[in-house]
Chain A
Amino acid sequence: MKLRILFAAAVIGAAGIATATAAEPQEVRQEMMKKVGGATGAMAKMVKGEAAFDADAVMAALTTMSEVAADYGNQFPEGSETGFKTEAAPAIWSDRAGFDAALEKFKTDVDAGIAAAPADLDGLKAVFGPITKNCGACHEDYRQKNS
Chain B
Amino acid sequence: MKRAAIGLGVIVLAGAAAVYALTAPQPVEAERLSAIAALEGDPAAGETVFWAGGCASCHSAPGAEGEARLTLSGGVRLESDFGTFVGPNISPHPEAGIGGWEIDDFANAMLAGVSPGGSHYYPAFPYGSYARMSDQDIADLFAFLKTLPESEVASLPHEIGFPFNIRRSLGGWKLLFFTDEPRVELADADEQLMRGQYLVEGPGHCGECHTPRNAIGGFVDGQWLAGAQNPDGDGVIPNITPDSSSMGDWSASDIAYYLESGFTPDFDSVGGSMVDVQKNMAELTASDREAIAAYLKAVPGRPNGWE
Chain A 48-75 interface mask (CB, 8 Å, partner B; 1/0): 0000000000000000000000000000
Q: Given A37-B267, A144-B272, are A89 and B234 neighbors across the interface (CB < 8 Å)?
A: yes
A147 x B275 contact (CB < 8 A): no
Query: Cβ of B212 < 8 Å from any Cβ of A?
Result: no
A143 x B272 contact (CB < 8 A): yes
Residues of B within 8 A of A85 (CB): none
Most chain A CB within a 10 A radius of its CB, from B262, B266, B271, B275: B271
Instruction: Please report which residues of chain A, range 59-115, place their CB below 8 angstroms from some CB of chain B when the two chains form the complex.
Output: 87, 89-90
B275 x A136 contact (CB < 8 A): yes
Chain A 132-147 interface mask (CB, 8 Å, partner B; 1/0): 1001110110011111
Chain B at the A interface: SS class:
loop
Contact of B233 among A33, A38, A144 (CB under 8 A): A144
Docked CA distance A75–B273 (Å): 24
Residues of B within 8 A of A147 (CB): 236, 238, 245-246, 304
Q: A135-B262, A135-B269 are in contact. List 13 more A-B contacts (CB 8 A).
A: A33-B268, A37-B267, A87-B271, A132-B262, A136-B262, A137-B275, A139-B272, A140-B273, A140-B276, A144-B271, A145-B236, A145-B238, A147-B238
Docked CA distance A46–B270 (Å): 20
Q: Smallest CB-CB separation from A91: which chain B residue?
A: B233
Residues of B within 8 A of A44 (CB): 261, 263, 267
Chain B 263-307 interface mask (CB, 8 Å, partner A; 1/0): 100111111110110110000000000000000000000001000
Instruction: Please report which residues of chain A, range 6-38, place their CB below 8 angstroms from some CB of chain B when the two chains form the complex.
Output: 33-34, 37-38
Interface residues on B, range: 20 to 34
Residues of B within 8 A of A145 (CB): 230, 235-238, 246, 271-272
A146 x B235 contact (CB < 8 A): yes
Residues of A within 8 A of B271 (CB): 87, 136, 139-140, 143-145
Chain A proximity of B281: nearest CB distance (Å): 12
A136 x B278 contact (CB < 8 A): yes
Q: Given A140-B276, A145-B235, are A40 and B245 neighbors across the interface (CB < 8 Å)?
A: no
Most chain A CB within a 10 A radius of its CB, from B267, B272, B276: B267
Interchain residue pairs with CB less than 8 A apart (29): A33-B268, A34-B266, A37-B267, A37-B268, A37-B269, A40-B263, A41-B266, A44-B263, A89-B233, A89-B234, A89-B272, A132-B269, A135-B262, A135-B269, A136-B269, A136-B271, A136-B275, A137-B275, A139-B272, A140-B271, A144-B230, A144-B234, A144-B271, A144-B272, A145-B235, A145-B246, A145-B271, A147-B236, A147-B245
Interface residues on A, range: 20 to 34
Residues of A within 8 A of B304 (CB): 147
Contact of A38 among B235, B267, B272, B276 (CB under 8 A): B267
Q: Smallest CB-CB separation from B244: which chain A residue?
A: A147
Residues of A within 8 A of B266 (CB): 34, 37, 41
Contact of A146 among B236, B263, B268, B278 (CB under 8 A): B236
A139 x B270 contact (CB < 8 A): yes
Docked CA distance A122–B263 (Å): 20
Residues of B within 8 A of A34 (CB): 266
Docked CA distance A143–B278 (Å): 16
Docked CA distance A135–B246 (Å): 19
Residues of B within 8 A of A41 (CB): 263, 266-267
Residues of A within 8 A of B234 (CB): 89-90, 144
B263 x A140 contact (CB < 8 A): no
A139 x B235 contact (CB < 8 A): no
Docked CA distance A37–B304 (Å): 26
Q: Given A41-B267, A146-B236, are A139 and B275 neighbors across the interface (CB < 8 Å)?
A: yes
